[in-house]
A and B are shown apart, each in its own frame.
Chain A
């Protein structure tokens, strides 16, 4: 059963704590992405990775960090430096960056209190 899995679906954290969101894919895709979606808004690119051990900043990378140590995994850490972390986070993957479709995970809704 191939796909892209994000966990957990809902996450609550206290202000000032770092939190890591999981994203795993078994589609053998080289490219992976993290997006942030705020209510009624579009998707804004946080980080993306074209290949293992490489990643690039998107438009809103400040306050976030990622790693790509394995092809299957692209975890996102929301650090205490992120001013407004409460949002819906979506992970996606594609065969490569370029003209291939993106497959999305179910998303993680992070609430910081």
Chain B
């Protein structure tokens, strides 16, 4: 069946350092979404990428969709303690398949 793999599982950074999480699919995706789940909370939608090679930015967050539409990345520049949480990608195969998530911890 469809699978969406996400790495790394955990990332610990010092405040101010950059962070990147990667998402890979075994099959071509129609689109990919990114969500953030704060500790004890529920996933909240961040962004959706649809086009091959698409790049979108939200302040310090940069999202990329691969040319083959099989991989994606989320990069955070100069992390802050408010960035703490788990970041999930979700590939859409007519229903949302979530990656295993990358848990980000930011030390002040």
Are A43 and B88 CB-contacts (below 8 A) given A99-B48, A99-B50, A101-B48?
A: yes
Q: Are A41 and B100 in contact (CB under 8 A)?
A: yes
The CA of A98 and the CA of B42, in the complex, are separated in Å by: 21
Are A98 and B98 CB-contacts (below 8 A) given A90-B42, A105-B42?
A: no
Count, A-B residue pairs, CB within 8 A: 57
Q: Determine which residue in A33, A45, A94, A104 has the highest number of CB atoms from chain B within 10 A of its CB, and name it.
A: A104
Chain B: number of interface residues, binned into ranges: 20 to 34
A residues 38-54 in Cβ contact with B at 8 Å: 40-45, 48
- Residues of A contacting B19 in the complex (Cβ-Cβ under 8 angstroms): none
Interface residues of B (CB under 8 A from A): 1, 6, 9, 30-31, 33, 35, 41-45, 48, 50, 88, 90, 92, 94-101, 103
The CA of A33 and the CA of B42, in the complex, are separated in Å by: 14
Apart from A59-B1, A98-B94, A104-B42: 9 A-B pairs, beta carbons within 8 A: A42-B100, A56-B95, A94-B96, A97-B94, A99-B92, A101-B33, A102-B33, A105-B42, A106-B41
